[in-house]
Amino acid sequence: MDYLLQLETMLKKMGFRVETAENQKEGEDKLKKLKPDLAIVDLMMENMDSGFILSRKIKQRYPEVPVVIATAVTSETGMIFGLDSEGEKQWIKADLYLEKGLREDQLHREITRLLKQAGG
């Protein structure tokens, strides 16, 4: 099962209403029509930087919406990203960075924490 379907199934099971997008363009189009309470973006969609671009566009349009970047880039390429330094926070516009393969209870805890911080 691909990651998008897996994540969608998990989030619906947690009780969330879920909208999905297969790529950056589709994600941008959906953002014009609806404001999410929270966004989870895969880092590598059609391009290596699609997730970074989409998360930046979400934050430009809706600065208060928590954005989570989910990726397997470290395990696949050895490149390490994070939100630990101020430099990284300047160019990675996300509230949380997660490696794929997170357990359902961990994901639920992180989403709940981010929604509380955002006032939702």
28, 46 contact by CB (below 8 A):
no
Report the pLDDT value the prediction gives residue 81, as an integer from 0 to 100: 52
pLDDT at 82 over 70: no
**Over 60: is that where the pLDDT of 34 sits?**
yes
pLDDT interval class at 91 (50, 70, 90): very low
CATH classification of the domain holding 85: 3.40.50.2300
pLDDT reported for residue 1: 45
**CA angle, corner 22, sides to 35 and 19, nearest 5?**
35
Split into its structural domains, the chain has a count of 1
Q: What is the mean pLDDT of residues 57-77?
A: 80
Q: Residue 89: give the domain boundaries.
A: 3-117
Please state the rounded mean pLDDT for residues 66-81.
65
User: Average pLDDT, stretch 23-50?
Assistant: 87
Q: Which of 78, 85, 120, 114 is nearest to 99 (CA)?
A: 78
Mean pLDDT of the 28-55 span: 86
Q: Give the pLDDT confidence score for residue 89 in this predicted structure.
A: 46
pLDDT at 16 over 90: yes
